[in-house]
Amino acid sequence: MLDSSVKNKSGMVTKIHTRIRTEPFKTNYDLVGKELGRGKFAVVKKCVEKATHKEYAAKFLRKRRKGEDCRADILNEIAVLEAAKANPYVVGLHEVYETSTEIILVLEYAAGGEIFNQCVADNDEAFTEKDIIRLARQILTGVAFLHRNSVVHLDLKPQNILLTSAQPLGDIRIVDFGLSRHVDDTAELREILGTPEYVAPEILSYEPISTAADMWSIGVLTYVMLTGESPFLGEETQETYLNISQCNVDYPQGRISSLAKDFITSLLQVEPRNRSTADECLRHPWLNPDSHTPTAASTTTTLDEQETSQSESEPESPDSSPEHPDIPSYPTYPGQGDLKTGRDTFTFTESFPTRPEMQQELIC
């Protein structure tokens, strides 16, 4: 569990227990293959540990960004990964190295890549509703663990959910805790951060952040997994923000079951207190088809049957990526600053607006 007594006013915890190694990274690891992911201030590469020949994902994070010392941000990410060590659905932290310019996190390698690839795949390769129910249960089990430890992820999206295996379909690993924060009742946390299509309305309006922000993102994520479309995406970022603030959602006819729609609706509530919690979601009929007669779908894992498969990588922040410009501030809320996209939200593929298959007509 995170030590909340050492968190700062931004909800970050910088006290860690993992030993930070200072010998050269390449003394113990060989880098292999191509990059797994890249962003403005970090890059993720596949590596092999020389002593064991095991595969890992090495995440190289710059300590200085835009002239500022961001070492505390990285320590916060390490602290969250430490606290989530017992969580089978959060990427595992193996080792940490530090150089004069970077901190390197050695993480599980997720061989199946991000679920985004199958969200927008052709019919033969796309997820079935049975698959989605199983994966959604795993995501919610992982997130419920974080929330019970007062951790909010704040950047849940298909690019930050990896698979241990693509074929056959493996288990999920939640990755990229660069924006995660510790929240509690002792102090309010207000910050503009996240990824535009997935950010909760209260963040855009600079209201206090709670674990409910993650539940909104899970609602959007589930919609994307079921339809291959982004529910709030507009032609421009400002239109996206407007759709989010007004909760303009259009459910495609015949493509989402009534139970799935009810599940998503329970999360896409503008008022945070009206959203289902992760534990409540796990009891929803859509995720428990065996206990409910009419629903398409699948055998799912119960909380007592948590699968523990090994793997994974954790793509997320990045080095220099001109394709991902800074997101402009939301005009409705002047003076609050730009939406912070995480230590640069980690992207393994192009952003939604460049994918025609992710476009959808939005009600304005």
Of 61, 93, 59, which Cα lies nearest the Cα of 74? 61
Domain boundaries, the chain: 4-108, 114-312+334-358
338 included as an active-site residue: no
Separation of alpha carbons 59 and 315, rounded Å: 7
Binding site for ATP, residues? Answer: 59
- pLDDT value for 248: 87
Per-residue pLDDT of the chain (364 residues; tens, 9 = 90+): 555 545 555 789 889 999 999 999 999 999 998 899 987 889 999 999 999 999 999 999 999 988 899 999 999 999 999 999 999 999 999 999 999 999 999 999 999 999 987 876 666 778 899 999 999 999 999 999 999 999 999 999 999 999 999 989 999 999 999 999 999 878 889 999 999 999 999 999 999 999 999 999 999 999 999 999 999 999 999 999 999 999 989 998 888 999 999 999 999 999 999 999 999 999 999 999 887 554 433 333 333 444 433 333 444 433 333 333 333 333 333 333 445 544 344 333 333 333 333 333 322 2
Nearest one of 355, 342, 346 to 36, comparing CA atoms: 346
Q: What is the pLDDT of residue 9?
A: 57
Record: fold of 114-312+334-358: Transferase(Phosphotransferase); domain 1 (1.10.510)
Q: CA-to-CA distance for 272 and 68, rounded, in angstroms? A: 33
Tokens representing 136 are 């959604």
Instruction: Give the model's pLDDT for residue 77.
Output: 97
pLDDT of residue 353: 35
Catalytic option among 73, 155, 176, 344 = 155
Alpha-carbon gap, residue 7 to 152, rounded angstroms: 14
Q: What's the token pair of residue 213?
A: 């922000």
Give the 3-state secondary structure of residue 105: strand
CATH 3.30.200.20 given to domain 4-108: yes
Q: What is the 3-state secondary structure (H, E, C) of 33-102?
A: EEEEEECCCEEEEEEEECCCCCEEEEEEEECEECCEECHHHHHHHHHHHHHCCCCCCECCEEEEEECCCE
